[in-house]
Amino acid sequence: MDYLDSRDADAFWLMFGATLVFFMQCGFAMLEVGYVQQKNTKNILVKNVFDASIGALCWWLSGYGIAMGSGTHKTIMGSDSYVLGIDLYSKPMWLFQWAFCATASTIVSGAVAERITFSSYLLISTLLTSVIYPVIVHIAWGNGFASAWRTGNLLSGCGATDFAGSGVVHATGGIAALVTCYLLGPRIGRFDKGKVKTIPQQSIIYQTLGTLILWLGWYGFNGVSTIYINNFGGVAAHTMVTTTIAAATGCLTTTGIGYLHDGVISPNNANNGVLAGLVSITAGCSTCSPEGAFVIALFGSPIYYYSNKLLLKMQIDDVVGSVPIHGFCGIWGVIAASLFATPHYYSHAYYSDRAEKCAGLFYGGKGNLFLANMQFILFLIAWVGLTTTLIVYPLKHFGLLRVTKEEEIIGMDDSKHNNKI
């Protein structure tokens, strides 16, 4: 019996990763259902299914071509590979990247739950997956100006390192969620004369199971971002170790911070702490040491906790905490990758000939990687913030963004999805 061609092994690796990452959609669905009121359950579930479905068609028609098509350091989108115009062994890459695309869209879903119109959400999801997110992928992972995967014309001599998407996926979804939440406004009853009011959540059981499913899926998210398994098995294993350490650190640290403030060991803090740690390590999971992963998550926890408090003070209503977890921790993850990258791990994950030059600031680097990552994250914030505003603001202006007061009070299931089974 002949051994498998190395391309077959790499193809299977990507398809395995795509399956794990797509399974995260189940985690997001359960997590979001746990946070919303029972009267909005069907609405949140349908939106999650539509995210995957819309994302698949948009990724097929334009997203993959924009993201991974041919280009140079002067382009923001690819010039080919549209409508799946790619060879047989590139299709696993298409599948893997589609699963990432669906994740970026779903991040917005939970943040804006319980008051956005279904049609507005579908429009946001469509444009996010067909244009906004693919441009960021092209810039960082394709042939765009910030990519570290080219051999020449590198941003600040290194290119930006966002190995599995703290910025590309999570900050993109988080910033889109922030803009939409701000323009959408809070749910009825969330704030009263400047005070935060508690709106009942459906089930901590769903929230916790959703979190654990996401943690499982993250091994595909980070580990399989090596793209190849041949000669990269050690790198994949290392990313899974740093991922595990960050998740555990985020859980315990965030719970501890909450206990110091409120005197309560909160399941919400434990669950969101896991996610904050995971998002924080995603950019540097392949280039930092296990000790670095611990420190990155250690700082990611207060970033999540206090940014969540800041949003509440500003009366920005993010139902599931998407903005502090994915937005703020995603930005921190990109910055942290430029601080904690070691020459040893960088040489295995990227290119050995620039490992010393592109090490993190805390490991002998001269700031090249830090400058590259900062330029990338500033572009990301500007691009996603501006394009999302251009979509959402007109919807608000013409009264199309938010459901009526009566529909919100009744609940989306009864008013929009006929809550009669």
Q: In which band, very low, low, confident or very high, does the pLDDT at 74 lie, cut at 50, 70 and 90?
A: confident
Q: What are phi and psi of 12, to 5 degrees?
A: -60, -40
Residue 24 near residue 214, CB atoms below 8 Å: yes
Average pLDDT, the chain: 94
Residue 308 tokens read as 């969540």
**Given this model, what pLDDT does residue 1 score?**
37
**Given this model, what pLDDT does residue 84 score?**
65
pLDDT in tens, 15-60: 999 999 999 999 999 999 999 999 999 999 999 999 999 999 999 9
**Given this model, what pLDDT does residue 418 score?**
73
Count of helix runs (H) and strand runs (E) in the chain: 17, 2
Q: How far is CA 17 from CA 14, 52, 224, 241, 390, in A?
A: 5, 16, 5, 16, 34
Measured in residues, the chain has a length of 421
Q: What is the mean pLDDT of residues 388-394?
A: 98
Distance CA 135, CA 126 (A): 14
* Contact partners, residue 380, CB within 8 Å, separation at least 6: 136, 139, 167, 168, 171, 172, 175
**Given this model, what pLDDT does residue 421 score?**
44
Residue 222 near residue 239, CB atoms below 8 Å: yes
336 pLDDT above the threshold of 90? yes
Q: In which band, very low, low, confident or very high, does the pLDDT at 420 lie, cut at 50, 70 and 90?
A: low
Q: Which of 39, 173, 43 is nearest to 113 (CA)?
A: 43
Distance CA 33, CA 45 (A): 7
368 pLDDT above the threshold of 70? yes
Residue that wins the pLDDT comparison between 70 and 341 = 341
Place of tokens 């990519």: 147
Q: Which of 176, 172, 21, 165 is nearest to 111 (CA)?
A: 176
Residue 20 near residue 216, CB atoms below 8 Å: yes
Residue that wins the pLDDT comparison between 61 and 75 = 61
Q: In which band, very low, low, confident or very high, does the pLDDT at 83 lie, cut at 50, 70 and 90?
A: confident
* Contact partners, residue 178, CB within 8 Å, separation at least 6: 111, 316, 318, 323, 327, 385
Residue 149 near residue 141, CB atoms below 8 Å: yes
Q: In which band, very low, low, confident or very high, does the pLDDT at 4 lie, cut at 50, 70 and 90?
A: low
Q: What percent of the chain has a predicted confidence (pLDDT) above 70?
A: 98
Q: Can you give the pTM of this predicted structure? A: 0.96
Distance CA 63, CA 73 (A): 19
Report the CATH fold assignment for 6-416: Ammonium transporter fold (1.10.3430)
Q: What percent of the chain has a predicted confidence (pLDDT) above 90?
A: 89
| H or E element in which residue 376 lies | helix 368-397
**Given this model, what pLDDT does residue 212 score?**
98
Q: What is the mean pLDDT of residues 118-147?
A: 96
Q: What is the mean pLDDT of residues 97-103?
A: 96
- Amino acid letter for position 402: R
- What are the residue ranges spanned by the domains of the chain? 6-416
Q: In which band, very low, low, confident or very high, does the pLDDT at 228 lie, cut at 50, 70 and 90?
A: very high
> 189-227 burial, b if ≥16 CB within 10 A, otherwise e?
ebbeeeeeeebebbbeebbbbbbebbbebbbbbbbbbbb
The phi-psi region of residue 285 (left if phi > 0; otherwise alpha if psi is between -120 and 50; otherwise beta) is alpha
pLDDT in tens, 185-224: 999 999 998 899 999 999 999 999 999 999 999 999 999 9
Distance CA 73, CA 150 (A): 9
What is the distance of C-alpha 369 from the center of its chain?
21
Distance CA 416, CA 134 (A): 31
Q: Which of 3-7, 40-44, 283-287, 301-305 has the lowest mean pLDDT?
A: 3-7
